[in-house]
Every structure is written in structure tokens, then in C-alpha cells.
């Protein structure tokens, strides 16, 4: 066999070996990916320090990733409050921060909710912020703290503290890892929904199981 033919066949054989070897490795990696991702999602969906309403034994857990400056989040609040009341015995509701980068005051508002939480009034501040939105500059946040009867000196100090900032950043990171890219995004027993439209239908579906 001529040398040039041998060289050509050698190149073809080596190429095929690389292709099949890569395919094998990629196939093996992808077969493990869903299980790893599922486990990670369950672990980061609700943290020990996440803000919760309801009991851990509830049949349905709803996790919301939200932004206090988001118009759709504000518009969804009355329906969410109604669902929390309607399904109180069967629902645990979890709030996670996901301030969007194009909302100038969203991150600071999330920090304000956390700072209020250090004085036992996270949910009161949560409601107040949606009431005020989109007027969420620092003066508005401090006034909201006064209106809620908080120690404003402590509130202002906590508002600018590293632990409060880190709590919001941690929520953002979890949201990114869960593929959240819009607000409000809900997870109903782990199933992702964008927007509030189908939320009650999904809750009822989970309760019927």
C-alpha cells in the first residue's frame, strides 16, 4: 500500500477515534446532569434563613423570586395575599429577593426588607415597599421604617451592613442558579412558573395529588 494512502487512513482512523471518544464522554456526562441539577435545585430553593409564612408540613410550598420595584410583582401582590389566606392550612409561602439590574432602587428596597426583618418586621416592610413602589429611594425607605415604628438608627445602620447585603446577594445567586430571569417567578413544589396567571391552578393541581 502506498505511503500516502497509509497516512490518509491513519488520519481518518485517528479522527474517528477522537469523535467516538468525545461522544462517549459527553453522553456519560449528560446522563448524570439531570440528577445533579435536581438535587442542587432542591437544596437552594428554600434556605434555612428564607422568609416563610405557613408550616413546613404544608402539602404545597410556593417560593416566589420577586423585585420590589417590579410593576408585575406589585400587581400580583393582592392575588398572592388572597392565595395565602385561602390556602393557609395547606400552603407554605417563601419570599426570595431577585432585584433586577435595570431597577435602580430594587436592591436597596430588598436590603430595607432585610433590615426591617432584623427588628421582626420583614413582612410589614414587604407590604409597605410594594405599597410605595416605585418610589423606593433611601428617604422613602427610612420614612417607611419610621411609619412601621422601627428603631430608625438601627435600621439605617443595618441597611448599609454587609450581612444584609450578602443576604440579598445570596438570594440573587440562588435565583440565577435556578434559571430565574424574570419577576415574579414562582416555584410550586419545585415546578417553575413565570407570572401569577397559572399559580392557583398549579396549587390546586398539587393539592389534588
Binning pLDDT at 50, 70 and 90, where does residue 1 land?
low
Of 92, 139, 144, 94, nearest in space to 119 by CA: 144
pLDDT of residue 75: 98
Of 184, 191, 46, nearest in space to 126 by CA: 184
Binning pLDDT at 50, 70 and 90, where does residue 15 land?
very low
Q: Stretch 63-82: mean pLDDT, rounded?
A: 98
Return the ∠ at Cα 43 (arms to 41 and 27), rounded to 5°: 45
pLDDT of residue 12: 41
The span from the CA of 186 to the CA of 93, in Å, is 10
pLDDT tens sequence across 134-169: 999 999 999 999 999 999 999 999 999 999 999 999
16-20, 88-92, 157-161: lowest mean pLDDT where?
Answer: 16-20
pLDDT tens sequence across 22-34: 333 333 333 232 3
Can you give the pTM of this predicted structure?
0.80
Over 80: is that where the pLDDT of 115 sits? yes
8 Å CB contact between 98 and 180: yes
Q: How far is CA 80 from the centre of its chain?
A: 16
Amino acid at each position: 500500500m502506498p505511503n500516502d494512502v497509509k497516512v490518509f487512513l491513519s488520519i481518518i482512523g485517528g479522527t474517528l477515534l477522537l469523535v467516538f471518544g468525545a461522544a462517549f464522554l459527553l453522553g456519560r456526562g449528560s446522563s448524570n446532569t439531570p440528577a445533579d441539577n435536581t438535587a442542587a435545585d432542591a437544596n437552594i430553593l428554600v434556605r434555612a434563613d428564607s422568609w416563610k409564612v405557613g408550616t413546613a408540613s404544608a402539602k404545597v410550598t410556593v417560593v416566589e423570586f420577586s423585585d420590589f420595584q417590579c410593576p408585575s410583582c406589585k400587581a400580583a401582590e393582592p392575588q398572592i395575599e388572597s392565595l395565602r389566606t385561602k390556602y393557609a392550612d395547606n400552603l407554605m409561602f417563601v419570599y426570595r429577593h431577585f432585584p433586577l439590574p435595570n431597577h435602580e432602587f430594587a436592591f436597596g428596597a430588598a436590603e430595607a426588607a432585610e433590615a426591617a426583618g432584623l427588628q421582626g418586621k420583614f413582612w410589614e416592610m414587604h407590604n409597605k415597599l410594594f405599597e410605595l413602589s416605585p418610589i423606593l429611594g433611601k428617604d422613602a425607605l427610612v420614612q417607611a421604617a419610621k411609619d412601621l415604628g422601627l428603631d430608625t438608627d438601627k435600621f439605617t445602620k443595618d441597611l448599609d451592613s454587609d450581612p444584609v447585603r450578602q443576604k440579598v446577594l445570596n438570594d440573587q445567586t440562588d435565583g440565577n442558579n435556578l434559571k430565574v430571569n424574570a419577576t415574579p417567578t414562582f416555584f410550586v413544589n419545585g415546578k417553575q412558573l413565570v407570572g401569577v396567571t397559572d399559580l392557583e391552578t398549579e396549587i390546586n393541581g398539587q393539592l389534588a395529588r
